[in-house]
Amino acid sequence: MNRQPWTDTQILPPQRPTIMRRNGSRVAADTHLLADMAAVEVVRAHKYQHHRITADPDSADAHQFRRNMTAVWQRAVVTANAIDMDPNHRTRLIETAKTDLTRRVSAYRDYSLDDIDTLWHPYTSGRLGDEVRSSLRKHPDRNSLGLHTGEDPILLSPQQWLDHARTSLDSDSTAEPGDRIAAAVAAAVAELGSPEYWDPSTDPNAGEPIGPQYSAETGPDP
């Protein structure tokens, strides 16, 4: 076969498979980030109630936390829609994130109030929300939150993640101490290679991903 010489007018083949893998990892990272935010928020509220401390739900930090959580969710949904994520893949991702959330709730329940606040405050950073919204503005389908007009979003909403976290906390309250210790150890092992909260020291313009870097593993293949 004769090879034609390269010319400036030739068009490179699209790199969609690579882009889809990268975007799929983005959806997984954002989904696990939402699960961790929900776990931290619910356990923090539980700790404040236990210590009879009133947390202001209308504070600037609390408001920014909710905005950040919504922005992360929007980015995950828009990206999943853009790559037409396979329903089975999406289901495995959600179930894996739910399992991760349960482990984290169990582990965080044994943290001190100061430690929980340390996890919570980076999630109230305006820089986190700015970075997520900036990436959304570059997306042509940034307003697409459902498969079709009128349909429910294809990924769990922030409120649904918070509800799952509260259910996990209630269930964990009746668990045997040994079970809770085992869950805490499992969560700690999972965190060895990936920080569980957003690092505000990361430069959003440095080209590295902003936000907690979770494994893109979405569960066993069917």
Q: What average pLDDT does range 156-176 have in this prediction?
A: 87
Whether 211 is covered by a domain: the verdict is no
Looking up tokens 């356990």 gives 43
**Residue 127 maps to a domain:** yes
pLDDT in tens, 99-137: 999 999 999 999 999 999 999 999 999 999 899 988 888
For 96, the 3-state DSSP assignment is helix
CB 95 within 8 A of CB 156: no
Q: What is the DSSP letter of 219?
A: -
Q: What is the pLDDT of residue 103?
A: 95
- What does the block give as tokens for 196? 């569980």
The answer to whether the CB of 161 falls within 8 A of the CB of 90 is no
Helix H or strand E encompassing 3: none
Residues in Cβ contact with 82 at an 8 Å cutoff, skipping those fewer than 6 apart: 23, 139, 141, 144
Number of domains making up the chain: 1
What mean pLDDT comes out for the span 45-50? 93
What integer pLDDT is reported at residue 208 of this predicted model?
40
Least confident of 47-56, 79-88, 181-190: 181-190
Is there a domain that residue 208 lies in? no
Helix (H) or strand (E) holding 132: helix 126-137
> Measuring CA to CA, which residue among 12, 54, 34, 2 is closest to residue 101?
34
Domain for residue 212, yes or no? Answer: no
What pLDDT is stored for residue 153 in this prediction?
A: 64
For residue 104, give its domain range. Answer: 25-191
Indicate yes or no: pTM above 0.75.
no
- pLDDT tens for 196-212 read 444 444 444 334 444 44
29 domain residue, yes or no = yes
- 61 in a domain, yes or no? yes
Q: Is residue 205 part of a domain?
A: no
Q: What is the pLDDT of residue 7?
A: 59
69-81: per-residue pLDDT in tens?
999 999 999 999 8
Rounded Cα–Cα distance for residues 27 and 48 (Å):
32
